[in-house]
Amino acid sequence: MQFARIDDVAIHYRLIGAPAEKPVIVFVNSLGTDFRIWDGVAQHLADDLAILIYDKRGHGLSDIGRVPYSIEDHAGDLARLLDQLSIERAIVCGLSVGGLIALALHQRRPELVSALVLCDTAHKIGTSETWNARIAAVERDGLESILDAVMERWFTPGFRRAENAAYAGYRHMLSRQPVEGYVATCAAIRDADYTAAARAVGVPALCVVGDQDGSTPPEVVRGMAQLIPSARYAVISDCAHIPCVEQPETLTALIRSFLSTL
């Protein structure tokens, strides 16, 4: 296991391959998940790219750190992690809140970002009302109380079958995240508006969404793609909010095809 200390926060990460020898892609995970969601994509890309995956603060094995925090704090952690690993430039692929973090990183440290893959995300996700209601429910009744509703947005009915062991595993992944880190990240998403950052993107960008995404539906992701100069836009069929889990081969093929044009 690999850990980096960023001020008072220990960040759990995995670096696969040698950044000095191959282009680097860093994957930024979504709310309530840890870096294992990228396993299915990473295994297909590892021959050609060095791969960095990590648990953002408040998730997985990383520390929670001091709350509250902002998307800027998450982007600062990523910038510091890249600096510590001597990675000077990377393709940044962010899922959902990971996409906000990718946009924030590009805004704050553009020299670190060679291209963006924005996956099931938007420049602004949800409303203050929906985030406040979610925060109140989790603080009062725990993550178990929102599990079913979140799973309906994350995965298609075909994946959410009782006999699908992977479905049980991803439910556990969400329910076992630390409540404090989850709630702090909900508040960070609530308070984030990266409309101006999306308009100012100066690197090639691919925007991808599952056709059944219940959190950032295709029309929302298309709206973000229209803000970003020259962004590509692609929809993945039979997929909801987490294509790296539900359709890793298709997502990998889209990333490969995008990278081949750079």
Ligand X SMILES: O=C(O)CC1=CCC(=O)O1
Per CB under 6 A, the segment of 9-17, 27-35, 49-57, 103-111 that binds ligand X is 27-35
Looking at beta carbons only, is 78 or 150 nearer to ligand X? 150
Rounded CA-CA distance 63/57 in Å is 6
Question: What does the DSSP assignment read for 60-82?
Answer: TTS---SSS--HHHHHHHHHHHH
Looking at beta carbons only, is 96 or 252 nearer to ligand X? 96
Rounded CA-CA distance 184/217 in Å is 23
Rounded CA-CA distance 92/121 in Å is 13
**Residue 41, interface with ligand X (CB under 6 A)?**
no
Rounded CA-CA distance 102/117 in Å is 9
- Reading the block at residue 127, the tokens are 């409303």
Per CB under 6 A, the segment of 9-17, 24-32, 218-226, 247-255 that binds ligand X is 24-32
Looking at beta carbons only, is 31 or 81 nearer to ligand X? 31
Per CB under 6 A, the segment of 28-36, 56-64, 80-88, 249-257 that binds ligand X is 28-36
Phi-psi region of 112 (alpha: psi -120 to 50; beta: other; left: phi over 0): alpha
String of contacts with ligand X for each residue 117-156, x by CB under 6 A: --------x------------------------x--x---
Site residues (CB under 6 A) for ligand X? Answer: 30-32, 96-97, 125, 150, 153, 189, 215, 241
